Structure 1
Amino acid sequence: MQLTGSQILIECLKEQGVDTIFGYPGGSVLNIYDELYKHQHEIRHILTAHEQGAAHAADGYARATGKVGVCIATSGPGATNLVTGIATAYMDSVPMVAITGNVPVSLLGKDSFQEVDICGITMPITKHNFIVKDVKDLADTIRRAFYIAKEGRPGPVLIDIPKDVTAAKADYHYQEPKSIPVYTEYIKEKDIEEAIKIINESEKPFVYAGGGIIRADATEELLQFVEKLSAPVSCSLMGQGAFPANHKLYTGMIGMHGTKASNTAATECDLLIAIGARFSDRVVSNIERFAPNAQVIHIDIDPAEINKNIKTHHCIIGDVKEVLKILNERLENKNPNGWNKKIEELMNEYPVTYPQDDTLRPQYIIEKIYEKTQGDAIVTTEVGQHQMWTAQYYKFVKPRTFISSGGLGTMGYGTGAAIGAQLGMPDQQVIHIAGDGSFRMNCNELATITAYNIPLIIVVINNGTLGMVRQWQTMFYGGRYSATTLDRGPDFVKLAEAYGAKGYKITTKEELERALNEALSLRGPVLLDCHVDIDNKVLPMVPPGKAIEDVITEEF
């Protein structure tokens, strides 16, 4: 049957099972929004306060649900406002489809009103992008975009659609979505055999798990693998929830703000098994001194990651869930030994802790949130000190419950991501933990939260500064606090109330207890403005350029 481009787009979104879109309308996407209006009972559109919020919301929706997140914006500034969100999704391998409008085909390349080459702009930060200049190509392009976003290592895909293409007509025929194959083509028998041989000969194995475990839904396989090896295991920031944080073999996070036990285990192991991880500089620090005594086995779906940052001795390329299944079938159980005892002793000797007194401290706030939610919440964060405290003090035991910008480190990410996560998982409590600096960047999304009565709890850890930058200025720049003190408004409680949310100002432990109890019972938009000291620090910390075992564990 003959449909317009806008109608074809909507039908293809329905083919792909899309039930929610985050976006902001404009001239170049008016035809699309007209069709969305007609299909509002099939596809829910969430109007965000800003296009960046739409991109982050689509990202949070994807991370929480495992589905493809979808966002839409008009041409020009609307499209460029998506860029930070697209880059955030790209760095953390999040499946997302961004749809942008553009000027009519006849006006492309003529510096027309609200025209940008969004495909050129986003080429380095998408798995693939398309500009559709002929309506006959639109349906197949949309289907390809969703397939590419999901297959292999996931990531964002952009579709740019000129306005006249959304009005033109073409034949449309329904198609079932193409199934995503399990990526096993490069899993070679000789690679499996060699890995098993290396593992069996190892006396001090250590497992480093990354976000790829979560993307591959391989948490159960990882648990079985680690227990077979009786190996200590650590997770990267993006890997939080890939392995239960309350398990006896879990040593805590690895890297710049990782535990002494994890960083020492990586340094002294004779075998480091990296699974679904990319050896980020925040994990590795000094490359020359990272895992100097170990053979390195790297298991990953993306061959481009092998030997990119760290030279590996052996690799297996393929879907990590399938690789772990094969290894688990063939590996023999190993018993705990002196290596396990040493790591346990390090965990006991160097716990991640903070001063226990009557002061309201950020670490206490995180622990109290964990206690009140019994660990059964989806937690989103912004970027900075509060992000690290959350990873350190909230015990994530399930995948897709820690949602944060890891690779790009996007301040302003979390509020939009929390919206997407809560709408994608309506039966779960979502708590957004923010720093006051990050929250200022996209606090306009309070309008979205209250307009849709989204039952988010936002906890602002308010230290009146750009905390992580100030920490570096304290430790490495002689206390010269250049442009980091935020001695300015707004009053976050009044701001929340102005938008229609409930707000609490919190300065004591007792006030925190009462406010959390009330917030969790309300099931509506709530903001907790928690005032803490300006000089709380994230510890442990590896100084820049040092080896990860040279970790500062306490403040002097």
Structure 2
Amino acid sequence: MMTGAQILIESLKREGVDLIFGYPGGVLLGVYDTIYDSDITHILPRREQGGIHAAEGYARATGKVGVCFGTSGPGATNLVTGIANAHMDSIPMVVFTGQVATSLIGGDAFQEADIIGITRPIVKHSYMLTDVNETAGVIKEAFHIARTGRPGPVVIDLPKDIMAAKTKFEWPEKVSLTGYNPTVKGHLGQIKKMLRMLESAKKPVIYMGGGVVLSEASEELVKFSEITNVPVVSSFLGLGGFPGTHDNFIGWLGMHGNYASNMAVSDPDFILAIGTRFSDRSTGRLDGFAPNAKIAHIDVDPASISKNVQIEVPIVGDCKAVLKQALGEIDKFNWDKNLAARKEWREVIRAWDKEHPFDYDRTADVIKPQYVVESIYKVTEGDAIICTEVGQNQMWAGQFYKFKRPHQFISSGGLGTMGYGFPAAIGAKLGCPDKEVFDIAGDGSILMNIQELTTAVQNKVAVKVAILNNRYLGMIRQWQNMFFNDRFSHCNLECQPDFVKLAEAFGAVGMRIDRKEDVEAAIRESLKVKDRPVFMDFTVDRNENVFPMIPAGASVSEMLLMKK
């Protein structure tokens, strides 16, 4: 006989869980007493939001399911932002929340919150345990749901009395869920139709999204692009899904994407979209997105197809599986058809990129934030895992670091969560201890979860944080500068802490860099620190803006370019 808490921990072991991020509370004391005897590593964050972001960073870096715990009431509600973040970006997570005893539910008991009701719109599925005999089966189902189909977060609410009750442990060997059977393989007829259209196209483009990373389809995509010789553009979260240094890679499209990518999706005759949801940040004004193109769309989530952009050839299935099917048919087509027209199309794209690359004033004496990112890329030889906060720092990271492989770029995409990058970097480093992990941060966003410095110090997590310190909420200032007549309303962060002293107070390493000539040396010095986090406070140009930029309501071809 085992308690519900013991069944919970044993079930996690059966699912291969080796790392939990969690914060204890009164209703979870039985669970934590069981964790005390477990060989699963548990990391104590200093706030539940930090814990769930760290679990998500771990999931993104490793490809595994992230696991976190929070107690009832405020502990559970502090997880909501992280749950929404994972939902928007399709990250596999199982989130356990403590709950008051079943006899008290609905009676406004101390620290009671209806976390199932609160999170229902932002989870893939949720459970409240009402019988200890359900525990193992529910956990088995939760992990299956979280990692299959379009991945996402699953919440399991754990009433105190159910965790204390006893029953015989029985582990189900397989999961069978009525009504849940995600399509993996694509319809072969639709795949052949897509290949025929691609074969006939004179100006084709492959548009890949984060689904390529999540389904581990990068190798198949590279092979497919090379055989067909079709150029590739990426969504922001797709970065790393296709090597950034490959000849067929154009760049990433959208609000701050590169000119060539945005123009390439404005004037093609055929787009093959793979694992993307056509978000507004990527498409701009919809009637200006690829107006003359036929579009085929591969996605495991049928609800994402034709949701925002009308699709001519829908292909429901896992990106990796469908690309394997397409590669099995690819030799039956003539990829030299329209060769002259395709060569001309590639030259047009190259000319766009040459005319308007990602750039900045490289002659300036002041430290430009782009220069810091370029220096991180140079020093790490493009091999680090890069996490970001949200804002200008996030966009510069995407623009000036070339990502070689999947799971190398970790950022809050759909929700745009400030305070995400630092705890996510902690999770990524714990999941990939042999990799250098950087959080490229703004001085506003880094303060949102600064308490996790203690978590990193206590657990000897040697993440490197590059603060692009412009003493502004930079993206807010940029929009107020460009669209609100320089009326800088509550974006000025003149009264910021001394980040060097702050880091040292937590037991971390702090460095301030005021001169351009010291940037690269500081980054190299940070890499020597192996047992604790390093905060590098770079004093950057306060008034630097992110370009290109697509204004709200404009099409992707209506970019504002950097002023010369």
TM-score bin, normalised by smaller chain: over 0.9
Equivalent runs, 1:182-201 vs 2, <5 Å: 184=183, 187-201=186-200
Structure 1 position 135 matched with structure 2 position 143 = no
2:25 alignment partner in structure 1? 26
Identity fraction in percent: 50
Q: Secondary structure at the match of 2:266?
A: helix
1:224 shift after superposition: 1.1
Equivalent residues of 1:16, 1:177 under 8 A apart: no
Quote the Cα distance in structure 1 between the aligned partners of 2:520 and 2:191: 52
Q: Secondary structure at the match of 2:444?
A: helix
Quote the Cα distance in structure 2 between the aligned partners of 1:374 and 1:402: 15
1:441 alignment partner in structure 2? 448
1:228 shift after superposition: 2.0
2:500 alignment partner in structure 1? 493
Structure 1 position 351 matched with structure 2 position 350 = no
1:174 shift after superposition: 3.8
1:470 shift after superposition: 0.8
1:184 shift after superposition: 4.5
Q: TM-score, normalised by structure 2?
A: 0.96
Amino acid at match of 2:414: G
1:555 alignment partner in structure 2? 563
Q: Cα deviations across residues 404-438 of structure 1 (Å, max 9, x unaligned)?
A: 00000000111110111000111111111111110
Equivalent runs, 1:250-289 vs 2, <5 Å: 250-289=249-288
Q: Secondary structure at the match of 1:130?
A: strand
1:83 shift after superposition: 0.4
Quote the Cα distance in structure 1 between the aligned partners of 2:321 and 2:184: 11
Quote the Cα distance in structure 1 between the aligned partners of 2:6 and 2:321: 39
Give unpaired runs (5+ residues) of structure 2: none
Mean CA deviation greater in 375-384 or 186-195:
186-195
Equivalent residues of 2:236, 2:398 under 8 A apart: yes
Equivalent residues of 2:206, 2:272 under 8 A apart: yes
Quote the Cα distance in structure 1 between the aligned partners of 2:257 and 2:243: 16
Quote the Cα distance in structure 1 between the aligned partners of 2:361 and 2:465: 25
Structure 1 position 341 matched with structure 2 position 338 = no
Structure 1 position 300 matched with structure 2 position 308 = no
Q: Cα deviations across residues 269-304 of structure 1 (Å, max 9, x unaligned)?
A: 000111000100001111111100100111100000
Structure 2 CA distance for partners of 1:178 and 1:15, relative to 1, 3 Å = farther
RMSD of aligned residue pairs (Cα, Å): 1.5
Q: Secondary structure at the match of 1:538?
A: coil
Equivalent residues of 2:185, 2:322 under 8 A apart: no
Equivalent residues of 1:15, 1:175 under 8 A apart: no
Structure 1 position 382 matched with structure 2 position 381 = no
Structure 2 CA distance for partners of 1:379 and 1:179, relative to 1, 3 Å = farther
Quote the Cα distance in structure 2 between the aligned partners of 1:200 and 1:246: 25
Quote the Cα distance in structure 2 between the aligned partners of 1:510 and 1:185: 52
Equivalent residues of 2:500, 2:510 under 8 A apart: yes
Amino acid at match of 1:257: H
Q: Cα deviations across residues 41-83 of structure 1 (Å, max 9, x unaligned)?
A: x201100010000100110000000100000010000000000
What is the aligned counterpart of 1:525 among 533, 546, 549? 533
1:47 alignment partner in structure 2? 44
1:359 shift after superposition: 2.2
Q: Secondary structure at the match of 2:156?
A: strand
Quote the Cα distance in structure 2 between the aligned partners of 1:312 and 1:472: 33
Structure 1 position 163 matched with structure 2 position 160 = yes
Structure 1 position 478 matched with structure 2 position 485 = yes
Quote the Cα distance in structure 1 between the aligned partners of 2:446 and 2:77: 21
Equivalent residues of 1:10, 1:36 under 8 A apart: yes
Structure 2 CA distance for partners of 1:182 and 1:110, relative to 1, 3 Å = closer
Structure 1 position 503 matched with structure 2 position 510 = yes
Quote the Cα distance in structure 1 between the aligned partners of 2:237 and 2:277: 10
Mean CA deviation greater in 231-240 or 506-515:
506-515
Mean CA deviation greater in 90-99 or 503-512:
503-512
Structure 1 position 397 matched with structure 2 position 394 = no
Amino acid at match of 1:308: K
1:176 shift after superposition: 4.5
